[in-house]
A = this chain, B = another copy of it.
Amino acid sequence: MQQVLDSSRPGDWRTLDPKNTLYLELAAGRVVIELAPQFAPAHVANIRALASNGYWNGLSINRVQDNYVVQWGDGNAEDAAKRKPLGRGIKPKLPAEFARKSQGLAMTVLPDADGWAPQAGFVAGFPAARDSATGSSWLAHCYGTVGAGRDMAADSSNGAELYVVIGQSPRHLDRNITTVGRVIQGIELLSALPRGTGPLGFYADPAQRTPIRAIRLASDVPKAERANLEVLRTDTPLFAELVESRRNRRDDWYLQPAGHINICNVPVPVREAAAATPAAAKSKKR
């Protein structure tokens, strides 16, 4: 994969739109999330407003379930007397945005069968799936996918309670919950948190929760404090080469190339724009 990245040109990379970039600030560092308004416009609008209002500042990560999800929000959300008000302009519940029309979405389709969906691939950097029979597309639950927690009713989410996948892709959640984006950088600040001690990985003792210093929209952050990242485009011949390098590893260590790849096994490389030379590209190695 590194060989493929070494041959990349500046046009193979894109910058993040500050209006679609969320910074989750923890004592341990920053987690960068890219929002997907093309899949969940109502949820992303609420999330942007919640961030701009400083809603999450001082709240916490309340759930870490091994091989599943990390989840944050108001630990007192179930208690009407104690819960933090969502703030002006925030809708308390939103329509389900589990899937959308495929029309208008360009997908780089993977060559192999997905199993969970008729087709799978990448839409603007996000792992996604689609069904031509229903004409619908949706974000796939892969490692790093961000979604909006909901109760029993499909329209009970509002984006205030968010989760990140930190385990084996729970694709059974696809089309059952609204997905809003993907972690671009810093997921290890979430995936290495102590596992919750109560049912479903919620912390039994509120003192075990991890405080959130702030969640801010990049566009609300002074330019000098923004992360300066570039993400590999997924609609280029270079990305197709990268996918093929993962389908069939050419490294001499591999004696049996897999001849197969799954969307959740394809990393989308990220690099610091300031050091945007091919040799400085950051990527996951085997």
Task: Please report A residues at the B interface, Cβ cutoff 8 Å.
Answer: 64, 66-68, 98, 112-116, 142-143, 152, 154, 167-172, 174-176, 187-188, 191-195, 199-200, 246, 249, 252-258, 260, 262, 264-265, 284-286
- Given contact pairs A171-B265, A192-B195, enumerate 15 new A-B contacts (beta carbons under 8 Å): A67-B143, A67-B187, A67-B191, A115-B115, A143-B168, A152-B252, A152-B253, A154-B255, A167-B168, A170-B286, A171-B258, A171-B260, A171-B262, A174-B256, A188-B195
Chain B residues, CB < 8 A from A170: 265, 286
| Interfacial chain B residues near A174, Cβ < 8 Å | 256, 258
Does A254 contact B172, Cβ atoms closer than 8 Å?
yes
Instruction: Report B-chain residues with C-beta under 8 Å of the C-beta of A254.
Output: 172, 176
What are 6 A-B pairs with beta-carbon distances under 8 A? Answer: A113-B113, A116-B260, A167-B168, A168-B169, A171-B260, A176-B255
Q: Do B192 and A193 touch (CB < 8 A)?
A: yes
- Which chain B residues border A199 with CB–CB below 8 Å? 285
Cβ-defined contact, B191 with A116, below 8 A: no
Contact (Cβ within 8 A) A116 B258: yes
Chain B residues with Cβ below 8 Å from A192 are 64, 66, 192-195
Partner of A176, one of B143, B152, B253, B262: B253
B176 adjacent to A256 (CB under 8 Å): yes
For A200, the chain B residues whose CB sits under 8 A away are 285
* A255 closest partner in B (C-beta): B176
Chain B contacts of A286 at CB under 8 A? 68, 170, 172
Question: Roughly how many angstroms separate A152 CA and B253 CA in the complex, as a whole number?
Answer: 5
* Complex-state Cα separation, A67 to B264, whole angstroms: 11
Interfacial chain B residues near A175, Cβ < 8 Å: 255-256
Q: A199 — nearest CB in chain B belongs to which residue?
A: B285
B residues in contact with A152, CB < 8 Å:
252-253
Which residues in B have their C-beta under 8 angstroms from that of A142?
168
Structural contact, B115 and A260, CB atoms closer than 8 A: yes
A241 to chain B, nearest CB (A): 17
Beta-carbon contact of A172 and B265 below 8 Å: yes
Give the Cβ gap from A261 to chain B, nearest Cβ, in Å. Answer: 8
A256 interface neighbour in B98, B168, B195, Cβ under 8 Å: B98
Residues from chain B with Cβ under 8 Å of A187 in the complex: 66-67
When chains A and B are docked, how far (Å) is the Cα of A228 from the Cα of B285?
Answer: 39
Q: Which residue of B lies closest to A165 (CB)?
A: B168
Given A67-B284, A200-B285, A255-B176: A143 touches B115 (CB 8 Å cut-off)? no
